[in-house]
A and B are shown apart, each in its own frame.
Chain A
């Protein structure tokens, strides 16, 4: 539309076209478009000329070529004979893994610390305060190095271990635990889980409807929990326990190199993953804590008083009055923290965790195709950002509706 509508309506005819804001608006926009196109044209021609002159290969053909290098952690089958495309996909999944696990822990720690910040207990609120200030004001990369290099030296070497319940073992090669091996019939457990989730959704709908009509409450949470946990467990026993645990194999005899945990037996969380997730979760949690604190403080005390006056106890007051209102303040900045965590996971490259940037960098080196690789990076992070913010916007809208 026009620049300033209030001007154009009923204004006397101007002497010069230049003074018409509408015309000027078009002019500036045309100018911008022309400038951008020129800029883009220069860059593209330069790049094409450079690629040609320097005889650098380009195009997406390399995706199919054999990667030839190993990747220490992969969620999908990967071998040195896999393609570059596969390698990048492995890196992408690792990024997602770090982001999801990091967000999970950052949220828990962040909410705990945020609430602790408001605690009446002086010691607790001070500790929370120190945590927040200390963690926020030290660069994340430094914290990642700290967790990786400083903590790495403190855990036992490869031929020793610290064990918890003789099930989880920690040493410098990572945190090992039992791996579930599914046998035929195990898919029913998955079906059971899906059925349970669907059932709990229906139960909660029905319960809400009933409460609105009759005022009677129904223990939705416990029913849902019972369904989601109970149904798969029952299925597990009914189908004849189609799962065994593969415990890590710790070899204590034989040549020195063979001692320690056998590779590929049990689940191993490599130290790079642990350090990165720990650093990301702890760093982001400090920011989340401040958001949570601000969110809770934003709910006026009158709300609590009114709710008490209505006869609600402390628990329901928090759950039904304070938290829903606080969440509305919390969610938008929380979204951007989640996005930050996802983007910060790219610092994995500093400690050899094979995330998207790290693996992509290796491919970039082997193939020399900078533009394609950086294009992939940008596209992936941008779409992750857009998806997350879209989801959060949707959630935010839902929360905001509760307002009325």
Chain B
């Protein structure tokens, strides 16, 4: 009676594969399973990109690894789920991922209507335009009549509509489901313009046949604060995400790096001591051990290290710090103090 056994077997297999999260809070749940499930993009160099061996690297990936370091003291206790723009919020809402670190723009409607919480901003971005150099265009205001390739289901699609309308320019939008298809179509000459977050433009430019033939226009037409997202209603986990990011930024401000963190632990500077857990019990306040920040910096590094390793001037993306510099250097990065 093989046909009767089969459904049973399948049922059993499904039972195994369906993970049941019985824990009351995300932290308990994560601790129970031993790793953090992190939602990332399907491949955006510099932010979250798998190499040929399937190892993920990038700024967004580092944030998840930092959270794993904070919770477990082990930055490798994290698993990555590549998500499309369409799936990302559902995946987080349903508990498939514990944190979404997928160059996601913080907007009011997403923060308030989707049952999500943005834990901060790990990259201040803005939407830009990329064009072929031989078009001779120097400003986005010259783009009237252009056909524009972009991703569907993102804020970029709305911004570009607003921008062309506001400047009374004609345009034609070709919106693809996947970033790779946008790149392929733009590369094939289907569109004059490729628009997405400026960081994304630099990243995607690497995928073009001749990256040198393309340039990013100076105009930034929108505010795109990108940051990690967690589910609403679990403040403990929200705090962990928020303070992981803050710890990385604070560490940079204090000059604590992965190389000197052991040394700095013995520092006389009280704020460094508080950050690294030598003084006070700040880790316990978010349900972690007191050396949480030490673990983050030791295993992953501070914000500057992560930035320089993934998107900085020495990487293929070659993005300068710009507005993503510390507030003390004229940028926007400003983390509340550990106190």
Quick check: which of A131-139, A198-206, A348-356 contacts chain B, the rest being far away?
A: A348-356
A70-B161, A152-B190, A256-B135 known; A263+B145 contact, CB < 8 A = yes
B170 lies within 8 A of A352 (CB): no
CA distance A69 to B170 in the complex (A): 14
Give chain A nearest CB distance to B139 CB in angstroms. Answer: 11
Q: Mark B161-190, 1 if CB is under 8 A from A, else 0.
A: 110010000111111110001001100111
A104 at the binding interface (Cβ < 8 Å): no
Chain A 4-56 residues near chain B, CB threshold 8 A: 50, 53-56
25 pairs from A and B in contact (CB 8 Å cutoff): A50-B93, A68-B161, A68-B162, A80-B165, A149-B184, A149-B185, A152-B190, A153-B188, A153-B189, A173-B147, A255-B136, A256-B136, A257-B136, A257-B142, A257-B145, A262-B145, A263-B145, A263-B171, A351-B181, A352-B175, A352-B181, A358-B152, A361-B153, A362-B175, A366-B153
- Residues on A with beta carbons closer than 8 Å to the beta carbon of B145: 257-258, 262-263
Interface SS, B side: mixed
Chain A 309-368 residues near chain B, CB threshold 8 A: 349-352, 354, 358, 361-362, 364-366, 368
B232 at the binding interface (Cβ < 8 Å): yes
- Residues on B with beta carbons closer than 8 Å to the beta carbon of A264: 170
Contact of B161 (CB < 8 Å), options: A69, A157, A173, A350: A69
Residue of A nearest to B147 (CB): A173
How many residues of chain A are within 8 Å of chain B by beta carbon?
Answer: 43
Residue of B nearest to A71 (CB): B173
Contact of A158 (CB < 8 Å), options: B94, B184, B192, B231: B192
CA distance A258 to B144 in the complex (A): 8
A370 at the binding interface (Cβ < 8 Å): yes
A53-B233, A55-B115, A352-B185 known; A271+B89 contact, CB < 8 A = no
CA distance A224 to B93 in the complex (A): 62
- Residues on B with beta carbons closer than 8 Å to the beta carbon of A173: 147, 172, 190
A364 lies within 8 A of B86 (CB): yes
Q: Mark A180-213, 1 if CB is under 8 A from B, else 0.
A: 0000000000000000000000000000000000
Q: A residues touching B (Cβ–Cβ < 8 Å)?
A: 50, 53-57, 68-72, 80, 148-149, 152-153, 157-158, 172-173, 255-258, 262-264, 270-272, 349-352, 354, 358, 361-362, 364-366, 368, 370
Give chain B nearest CB distance to A132 CB in angstroms. Answer: 29
B90 at the binding interface (Cβ < 8 Å): yes
A257 lies within 8 A of B172 (CB): no
How many residues of chain B are within 8 Å of chain A by beta carbon?
Answer: 48
With most chain A CB atoms within 10 A of its CB, the pick from B90, B113, B154, B190 is B190
- Residues on A with beta carbons closer than 8 Å to the beta carbon of B233: 53
B177 lies within 8 A of A349 (CB): yes
A56 lies within 8 A of B114 (CB): yes
- Residues on A with beta carbons closer than 8 Å to the beta carbon of B51: none
With most chain B CB atoms within 10 A of its CB, the pick from A80, A271, A272 is A80
Give chain B nearest CB distance to A176 CB in angstroms. Answer: 13
Residue of A nearest to B178 (CB): A350
A55 lies within 8 A of B232 (CB): yes
Give chain A nearest CB distance to B259 CB in angstroms. Answer: 42
